[in-house]
Structure 1
């Protein structure tokens, strides 16, 4: 089973790119973040045509939003408001049929603004609180679970192009890394990206629109696929589909795919 995650940065704007990705890579399940569309306006037709007939959409107008689409039957099992303000940032599904019982959690963690200080930047505090609520939830998990999405944190020194230069930049600050580490430890999550591409090997999933990414390669690893330990043992391969960043008017993120032998 191939499960993919991708911050698409507007699913309607980049629907042709999603179709190309699905046609070329053919994942069984795709988790999208930052779909930027209300649920009733989600572009169902293309997914239906390609056989992704099972969909769980948690969206809102113009901002945020997540969607999980699948060829494999599933039932939606959760929508957590870890932001505590009603923003559409999570949806969880339980697979049926092949992979029956596997929980796939799709999350879009807040970026956290530009200043790494909750006193002067409330968005940064919201990000840390979001992670704290996720950590409380993770401590209670008792089933094989895969959590994927845009975590908006690059935790390791080798997850960014310049560790020292980014220590005070939101997404790589020590407090964010520490807070994400508490979430990891609450369930014993296995970071599949680093299981298959061990540090310090290059492993980026995001490049700013502000720099010429192919020349400078100023990337960060903000997107993740983390698995329960017993599920991680069934992972067989992990891929970064970096070529999508070369497509015309691309998302600033690229897709990740993990293959499992379930």
Structure 2
């Protein structure tokens, strides 16, 4: 199964870019975040034209939103949490029917957290930490993940070389110690295996996001790894390859995130 995660930053605005993504990566399952579209306006025709017969979406006007598009049959997992009781369309859990049996896929869009890394001064940062705390408790209650994949824009770059400068980023939302501790605690709670770092050693730089604020993002290369793919330990031996489609950051009307592919054989 080839699974791709991408914060598309408006699925209606960037629907034409999905063809480029398909030409480059040819995923079986595509998980989108920040679709910014209510369900009734989702571009189903454009997506169906790419061969995604199976689609489960959860969107809202102007903000957030997640979608799972698939060539393989999908089933929505029932009774998933309403994170922080906000109903803000940040998670989809589905079962994907593969030749080896169902694989549970969770697509997350974690709150970005604003600009100030202080939960008392910044409600957005508090929301981010509360969201991850709820996700960690939920995961711990379920036990170690089995035949499962968790993907998405988790909005945290946890490792030293997941950011362009560890020292300069320690006080910047997305790489602060409290966020890193929260994310790694969530990962441990499910005994998740980091699929990208399975292929790329921790001492090597690895980015999936480059800010719109950079005049020349490629020359500056001040990136962060905000997008993640975790797999359960039983799937880890089947990991075959990964690809971070950095060229997508240079596409016309691009997202500031790039698509990330992981191929796993079960």
- Paired residue for 2:201? 198
- Paired residue for 1:106? 107
1:200-250 alpha-carbon deviations (Å, 9 max, x no partner): 112100000001211100000000000111112211111101110011121
Distance in 2, matches of 1:99 and 1:60, equals 34
> 1:237-252 counterparts in 2 under 5 A?
237-252=241-256
Instruction: Check if 1:119 corresponds to 2:120.
Output: yes
Distance in 1, matches of 2:98 and 2:231, equals 20
Distance in 2, matches of 1:99 and 1:258, equals 17
Displacement of 1:97 = 4.2
Instruction: Check if 1:146 corresponds to 2:149.
Output: yes
CA RMSD, Structure 1 to Structure 2 (Å) = 1.1
Distance in 1, matches of 2:20 and 2:40, equals 23
1:161-190 alpha-carbon deviations (Å, 9 max, x no partner): 011111110000000001111101111111
Instruction: Give the conservation status (yes or no) of the 8 Å contact 1:72–1:98.
Output: no
1:132-181 alpha-carbon deviations (Å, 9 max, x no partner): 11111211145321000000000001100011111110000000001111
> 1:57-136 counterparts in 2 under 5 A?
57-78=57-78, 79-136=80-137
Displacement of 1:86 = 1.1
Count residues in correspondence. Answer: 262
Displacement of 1:22 = 1.5
SS across alignment from 2:258: coil
Instruction: Give the conservation status (yes or no) of the 8 Å contact 2:146–2:234.
Output: no
- Paired residue for 1:232? 236
SS across alignment from 1:229: coil
1:101-152 alpha-carbon deviations (Å, 9 max, x no partner): 2001000000001100110101111101100111112111453210000000
Instruction: Give the conservation status (yes or no) of the 8 Å contact 1:104–1:147.
Output: yes
User: TM-score scaled to structure 2, two decimals?
Assistant: 0.96
- Paired residue for 2:181? 178
SS across alignment from 2:94: strand
Distance in 1, matches of 2:12 and 2:203, equals 36
SS across alignment from 2:108: strand
Q: Which runs of 5+ in 1 are unaligned?
A: none
- Paired residue for 2:159? 156
Distance in 2, matches of 1:93 and 1:76, equals 4
1:21-60 alpha-carbon deviations (Å, 9 max, x no partner): 1133210000000000001110001221221010010100
Q: Which runs of 5+ in 2 are unaligned?
A: none
- Paired residue for 1:28? 28
Instruction: Check if 1:5 corresponds to 2:12.
Output: no
- Paired residue for 1:261? 265
- Paired residue for 2:218? 214
SS across alignment from 1:233: helix
Instruction: Check if 1:189 corresponds to 2:192.
Output: yes
Instruction: Give the conservation status (yes or no) of the 8 Å contact 1:74–1:93.
Output: yes
